Structure 1
Amino acid sequence: MRTAAVVGSGLIGTSVGLALSRRGVRVHVMDADESAARVAAARGAGVCGRPPEPVDLAVLAVPPARIAQVLAEQQHQKLARAYTDVASVKSATAQAVARSAPHRPSYVGGHPMAGSQCSGPLAAGADLFQGRAWVLTPGTETSRAALNRVLAAVALCGAVPVVMEPQAHDRAVALVSHAPHLVAVLMAARLTGAPRESLALAGQGLRDVIRIAGGDRALWSDIVTSNAPALAEVLGELAKDLEALTRALRELEVHGPGTDSAREAIAQLLFRGRTGWECVHEPEHTSGQVTLSIPLTDRLGEVDRLVSAARESGIGTDSIRLRWSQTSSRLSACLATAPLAAPDVRRRLTDNGWQVSVEPATPSL
C-alpha cells in the first residue's frame, strides 16, 4: 500500500492517518471541518486535501449514520480503489450501503476496537490500534482485491483482523462497548445536582466508573440510535438484574439483615460479577488466550521496564500477572494476549531483549 485517504479527522481518523504515515504510506486527510483536517495534518497524519488521483484505500471515519452517504459521494468522485469505514455499528451501515453504494465490491465494513473518552485530532495516537482487534465485515459482493487492501492497512496499523457477520458484531459491541458506555452515562447522570459535600468524597472508583461518560455526545447519540435493537436486549437483561438487586435491598430494609433470601440474591450477583471481571482482567483463566512467560531478575526498575514494553505492544497492565516460583526462587511475568497477536508481541519483546516463552494452554474444565 502506497497511498490512502482518510475522510474525517477525529480521534480514529487521525490515528489511522498517523499509523499509516509512520509506515511510509502517503495519506491525504479530508474533513468538512478544514481546521480539524489541518490540525491532523500538522500532527503528521498526512497532507491536507483531496488527492489528485485515486488512492489505494479510503478510510471513512465519520459517524455510522453518514457512512453510506459519504461512501456513495466518494465512489462517484473516484476517491479510491477500495473503501472501508471505522463505524462501530455494522448492520444498519451494511443495509444503507447496499441501498446506495454505486460499487459495493470495493467496500469492506470495518471497526477498530480502540478508542478513548477524549475526541478530536489532538487525542489521536499512532499506536492506538496496536495489538487491538479490528473487525471486518466483508459482504458477499466484496472483491478479494478490496479485502486485501483493507487487511494491509489493518496490519500497518498494528491491529489484529477479526472477520465477523454484521449482526454478530453489533450484538458483541452492544455487550462489551455500547451498554457499558450507557451504564457509565446513567451513573454520571445521577451526580447532576448532587450535594457538594457528597461530590467532595468522590474517589478513583467513581472516576473509573464514569470515565467513558465524557465521550462525544453527538457521536454516541448516533451509535446508540443505530444499534438500538442489540442494545435494548443487553439493557433489558441488565434491568432484570437491577430490579432483583433493588428488591433484595428493599427486603433487607424491611426485614433486617437476617433475611436469608435477600442475602443470597446479593451474594449470587456479586459472585457473577466477580466471574465476569475475571473474564476480562484475568484472561489466562479463560479460553482463547495465549500466555507469554518472561523470567525477571531482581534488578531495580525491571518490572517497570517490562510493563512499559508490554504497553508498547498493546498489552495493558490488567493482562499482566507476576508470580513467584518457590522452586527456582525467581519472579516471572505472565502476559495474556490474543492468539493472532501473540507472534507479533513475542517478536517485539524478544527484539527488546526479553526472554519470552509461550506457556502451554490449560484445558478447560
Structure 2
Amino acid sequence: MRTALVIGTGLIGTSAALALAGRGVRVYLRDHDPDQARTAAALGAGLDQEPDGPVDLALVAVPPAHVAATLAAAIEGGLARAYLDVASVKGGPRRELRALGCDLSTYLGTHPMAGRERSGPLAATADLFEGRPWVLTPTRDTDTEVLNLALELVALCRAVPVVMDAEDHDRAVALVSHTPQLVSSLVAARLRNADETAVRLCGQGVRDVTRIAASDPRMWLEILSANPGPVADVLDALAADLDETVRALRALQAGKEGAAELEDVLRRGNDGRARVPGKHGAAPAVYETVTVLIGDQPGELARIFADAGRAGVNIEDVRIEHATGQQAGLIQLMVDPAVAGQLAGTLAERGWPVRR
C-alpha cells in the first residue's frame, strides 16, 4: 500500500490516517467539514487535498447512516482499487450498497474495536488500534486483492484481524458494545437528579460502570439507529433478568424468600465476567491485589512503579481509587499471587502504607 484516501477525519479516521502516515503511506484526507480535515492534516495525518488519481485504498470513516452513500459515490468515482469502511454496524451498509447496484467485489466492511469517550481529530492517536481486534467481514464476492489490502491496513495499525460474518458481527457488538453503552447511560442517568450527598459517596464501582456514559450522545444515536434489532434483543433478555431481580428484592423487602434468585443472577454474572478475555487476549487470570495509599503529588506513580521494579515484580494491571475530599488515593496493583507477598514486603520496606 503506497497511497490511501481517508474519508471522514473524526477519531477513527484520523487515528487510522496517523498510523498509515507514520508508516510511510501517502494519505489524503477528505471531510464534509474542511476545517476538520485541516486539523487532521496539521496533526500529521496526511494531506487535506484530493489525490491526483486512484489510490490503493479508500477508507470511509463516516457515521453509519452515511456509509453506504459515501461508499457508493467513491466507487462510482473510481477513487481507489479497494474500498473499506469502519462503521460499527456491518450488515446494513452492505445491503444498501447491493440495493444501489454497486460492485461489491472491491468493497470490504470492517470494524476496529477501539474508541474513546472523546471524538474528533484532536482525540486521535496513531496507537489507538494497537493490539485491538479489527473485524473484517469478507464474502465470496470480495476480491482477494481487497482482502489483502484490508489485512495490510490492520497490520500497519498494529491491530489484530478477526474474520466474521457481517450479521454475526452486528449481533456480537450489540452484546459487547452497544448494550453496555445504553446500560452505562441508564445507570448514570439515575445520578442526574440524585441528592448531592449521595453523589459524593460515589466510589470506583460507579465510576467503572458509568465511564462510557460520557460518550457523545449524537454519535451513539447514529450507531444504535443502525443496529436497533440486535440491541433490542439483548435488552429484552436483560429486562427479563431485571424483572426477576426486582421481584426478588420486593420479596425480601416483604420478609419473604428471594435470596436464591438474587444469588443466581450474581453467580451468572460471575460466570459471564470470567469469560471476558484477560491480558493480551489470553484466558482470564486470577491476580492478587496489593493496595497502597498514595499521595496526589507529581512523581508518586513513577516512584511506586520503580519500587515494584526493584522488587522484580511485574504489574499485571493497575487501578486508582481517588479519595473524596483528600489529596490521596488507593492504588491497586494486580500481580501474580505467588509474588504478592514479595511486592508488599518491598513496598512496606520503602515506606509505602500497604494494605492487603
Which TM-score applies when normalising by structure 1? 0.78
Pairing 1:268–2:264 present: yes
Aligned residues: 311
Q: 1:305 to 1:26 in 2, by over 3 A?
A: farther
* 2:239 equivalent in structure 1: 239
Structure 1: give runs of 5+ residues left out of the alignment.
Answer: 292-296, 309-317, 332-365
Pairing 1:278–2:292 present: no
C-alpha contact (below 8 Å) 1:71/1:101 kept by paired residues: no
1:204-243 map, 5 Å: 204-243=204-243
Question: Does the residue aligned with 1:56 lie in a helix, a strand or coil?
Answer: strand
Give the whole-Å Cα distance in 1 for the aligned partners of 2:177 and 2:126. 22
The alpha-carbon deviation at position 5 of structure 1 amounts to: 1.0
One-letter code aligned to 1:272? R
Q: 1:303 to 1:63 in 2, by over 3 A?
A: farther
* 1:136 equivalent in structure 2: 136
* 1:81 equivalent in structure 2: 81
Give the whole-Å Cα distance in 1 for the aligned partners of 2:316 and 2:337. 14
One-letter code aligned to 2:269? G
Q: 1:54 to 1:201 in 2, by over 3 A?
A: same
Q: 1:56 to 1:209 in 2, by over 3 A?
A: same
1:12-91 map, 5 Å: 12-91=12-91
* 2:304 equivalent in structure 1: none
The alpha-carbon deviation at position 43 of structure 1 amounts to: 1.2
Q: What whole-Å deviation, never above 9, does each CA across 1:56-108 have from its counterpart, x for those lacking one? A: 10110011111110001112222211010101111111111111253221100
Alignment RMSD: 2.9
Work out the percentage of aligned pairs sharing the same amino acid: 47
C-alpha contact (below 8 Å) 1:68/1:101 kept by paired residues: no
Give the whole-Å Cα distance in 1 for the aligned partners of 2:308 and 2:279. 26
1:1-365 map, 5 Å: 1-100=1-100, 102-255=102-255, 259=256, 261-280=257-276, 282=278, 289=283, 299-300=309-310, 303=313, 321-324=335-338
Q: What whole-Å deviation, never above 9, does each CA across 1:262-302 have from its counterpart, x for those lacking one? A: 01111111111122222226579x9x7599xxxxx974275
C-alpha contact (below 8 Å) 2:5/2:55 kept by paired residues: yes
The alpha-carbon deviation at position 193 of structure 1 amounts to: 1.9
Question: Does the residue aligned with 1:47 lie in a helix, a strand or coil?
Answer: coil
Give the whole-Å Cα distance in 1 for the aligned partners of 2:103 and 2:267. 51
Which TM-score applies when normalising by structure 2? 0.80
Give the whole-Å Cα distance in 1 for the aligned partners of 2:121 and 2:93. 24
Q: 1:307 to 1:283 in 2, by over 3 A?
A: closer
One-letter code aligned to 2:10? G
Structure 2: give runs of 5+ residues left out of the alignment.
Answer: 286-306, 319-331, 344-356
Q: 1:242 to 1:152 in 2, by over 3 A?
A: same
One-letter code aligned to 2:310? L
Question: Does the residue aligned with 2:310 lie in a helix, a strand or coil?
Answer: coil
C-alpha contact (below 8 Å) 2:129/2:158 kept by paired residues: yes
